[in-house]
Structure 1
Amino acid sequence: MLVHPQFDAVAFHLWKWPIHWYGLMYLAAFGLFLWLGNRVVARPWNAARGWTRRDVDDLLFYGVLGVVLGGRLGYVFFYKPAYYLSHPGEILAVWQGGMSFHGGLLGVLVALALFAWRRGFHFLEVGDVVAPCVPTGLAAGRLGNFINGELWGRAADPGLPWAMVFPQANDGGIPRHPSQIYQFLGEGLLLFIVLWLFARKPRPMAAVSGLFLLGYGVARFTAEYFREPDSFLGLRAFGWSQGQWLSVPMIVGGALMMLWAYRRAARLPAAPAMR
C-alpha cells in the first residue's frame, strides 16, 4: 500500500517569510479564474451584453472577499458553533485552519449579488459567467489538502491499489481512501470539463449556474462516502455526513434552477438578456 509522502507544508521561504503550499494553491486558483474568466467574457454572446476584462478583475476581488469571509464563517457556524461561541476571539483566526466550501459559496453569492447590483447585471447572469471558472479553483484547493495530508479518507480495503496510509491520522497505519484526490478529480477536473463544454454555447440564463450547483452537489455527496467524517461531528441522520447534508440543497436547488431556466426560455423570444 502507499504512504502519504509527508510534504513540508512550507513550499519555500521568501526572505524570512514562509510560503505555504496551501497559499500557493489559492494563488493558482485566483490566477486560473482570471485566465478562464477572460475567455468566458470574450465569447460573443457575453461581449454583446457588455462584459469586459475589467469585470473579471472586479469579480475576482469580490469573490476573494466572499470566499475568505464566507468560508471561515461557514466553518464556524456549520461545524463548530458551540466552540466558537465560547471562543469568539478565534472566529477570524483563519491562520489556525478551518474553512467551509458551503460557507464560501454563500459568501460568494453575497459578493456576486453586490457586484451585479453595482454594475447593472442580472444576478443569475453573473453566476453563469462565474460558474465555469470555479472548478479549477476547487481542484487546486483539494490538491492543497492532499499536500498537507489533511481531510483524509475513510478506511479502505488493504488490497485497493491506491489505498494510502496517512501518518497524520495517528491511527496505527490504517490504509485509507485518498479522498482529497477523489474530490480533486470529481468536483475539480470532471466538473470543470462538464461546465466548460456546456457553457461553450449560449444557454438560458441560470442554466450554467444550476448545472454547477447540481454537479458539485452530486460530486461532493458521492465523495463524502469515502472521506472520513469530522471527528467532532461524526455521521448524521441516514448515516450521512455534514458535507452530504449541506450538499442536498445544492442538488435540489441546481435541478430546479435548470428546470426553471429552460421553461422560462421556452416562453421568451430567443434574444440575449441586455444590461
Structure 2
Amino acid sequence: MSITLINLLNYITWNVDPEIFSIGPLSVRWYGLLFALAFIFGQRILTKIYVAEGRTEGDVDVITLYMIIGTVIGARLGHTLFYSPEYYLSNPIEILKIWEGGLASHGATIGILFALWLFSRKQKFDYMWVLDRIVIVVALGGALIRLGNLMNSEIIGHQTTVPWAFLFERLGENPTVPRHPTQLYESLSVFFLFVLLYWLWKKYKSALPKGLLFGIFVTALFTFRFLVEFLKEDQVAKEATMTLNIGQILSIPLILIGLFILIKVWQNPKPALPGGRLEENSKA
C-alpha cells in the first residue's frame, strides 16, 4: 500500500494494492471486504432499528437474506443490461462470472426494491415502512462500496488541477495525470446522507411520515449521482457520443420518483402503523 502526499497544492499519489493478502489461489481484496462489511454493519444497525420499533432480530435475518440476493443479482444484471447488453446477450454465460467484476448501483437499487417488495408481501410488512428503514443502512453500505471502488482505482474522474486531486498510479497511464477522486466524493456524500437519515429516525422513529426517509434518500442520492457523473470518465465507449451518460439517464426516473414521494408526504403526512404492521384490510 502506498499513499504519498507529494504536494498538497498539486495532488495526492494513490497506489493502494486492491489485494489485502493472498493464500495460494485465495485472495482477499479491499472491495470484497468492504462489500461484506456493508452487510455486517447494516444488519447490526437494522437490528437496533427493528428491535426499537417492536420487531425481532429474526425479521432482520430474513430481510438481510433478501437484501443480499436482491443486491447481487440486481447489480450484476444492471451492469450487463445497462452498460454492455450486446456483449452479454451474445455471451450469456459471462453474466454469471461476477468474480470478474461489473456491478451497477442502479441495478442494485432495482433489485433491492423488488426483493423488499417480495419480503414485505411474504412477511406481512408495510412496504413503505420497510423502505424507510432500509435506506438508512443502504446509505452506509453505499459509502463503503464506493470506498471499495477507490481501493480498486476504478470509476475515476476527469483530469483536474484541484489540490485534492488523486494521481492513480495503478492505471498505468503515461504520463499519469491527477484526477477527481469521484469515488471519494460519492462515498462521503452517501455517508453524510446516512448520518442524516439515522438522525431523523433516532429523533422521530415511528412518528416519521411514511415515505419521508425513502423520498429523501432516493432524491438526494441520485441527484448527487447525476451531478458527479459530469466529473467522471466514461464507463463504456458508447457514452462518448451521448449528451448524458448512462448513469445520468438511469438516475432521472429515480429522482422523479423520490420527488413524487416527497410531494405526497408533504400533502398528506401519515405515519406508518407501529412496527410496520399493515393497515387493517390492506393487502400484503
Please, what TM-score do these two structures have when normalized by structure 1?
Answer: 0.89
Q: What's the CA shift for 1:6?
A: 2.2
Select the residue among 117, 134, 141 that pairs with 2:138. 134
C-alpha contact 2:14 2:166 (8 A) present in aligned 1 = no
Q: Distance in 2 between matches of 1:269 and 1:205?
A: 5
Distance in 1 between the 2:219 and 2:160 partners? Answer: 28
User: What amino acid is aligned across from residue 183 of structure 2 in structure 1?
Assistant: Q
Matched, 1:103 2:112: no
Find the aligned partners of 1:105 and 1:270 in 2 and give their Cα distance. Answer: 23
Aligned pair in 2 of structure 1 residues 203, 113: CA closer, same or farther (>3 Å)?
same
Equivalent position to 2:97, from 88, 93, 100: 93
- CA-atom RMSD in angstroms: 2.0
AA matched with 1:112 = L
AA of the residue aligned to 1:58: V
Give the alignment partner of residue 20 of structure 1, picking from 12, 29, 32: 29
Partner of 2:7: none
Three-state SS of the structure 1 residue aligned to 2:34 is helix
Shift of 1:16: 5.3
- Paired AA for residue 175 in structure 2: G
Structure 1 residue 261, shift from structure 2 partner: 2.6
The match for 1:196 is: 198
**TM, length-normalised to structure 2:** 0.86
Unaligned runs of 5+ in 1: none
Structure 2's unaligned 5+ residue stretches are 1-9, 279-284
Give the stretch that moved more between structures: 91-100 or 223-232.
Answer: 223-232
CA shift in 2, pair 1:173/1:206, >3 Å: same
Task: Answer yes or no: is the 8 Å Cα contact 1:25–1:143 preserved in 2.
Answer: yes
Seen in structure 2, the aligned counterparts of structure 1 residues 184 and 171 have a Cα distance that, compared at 3 Å, is farther
2:3 aligned residue? none
Change (3 A) 1:171 1:66: farther
Aligned equivalent of 1:164: 166
d(CA) in 2 for partners of 1:240 and 1:224? 9
Q: Does 1:205 align with 2:210?
A: yes
**In the alignment, does 2:41 pair up with 1:32?**
yes
Q: Deviations over 1:237-272 (max 9, x none)?
A: 5x322111111111111011122133333xx69965
- The 8 Å contact of residues 12 and 18 in structure 1, kept in 2 or not, is answered as yes
Q: Which amino acid aligns with 2:179?
A: R
Q: Which moved more, 1:106-115 or 1:51-60?
A: 51-60
Per-residue displacement from partner, 1:168-197 (whole Å, max 9, x unpaired)? Answer: 1625212210111111111x2111122112
Shift of residue 231 of structure 1?
3.8
Q: When the two structures are aligned, how many residues end up with a matched partner?
A: 264
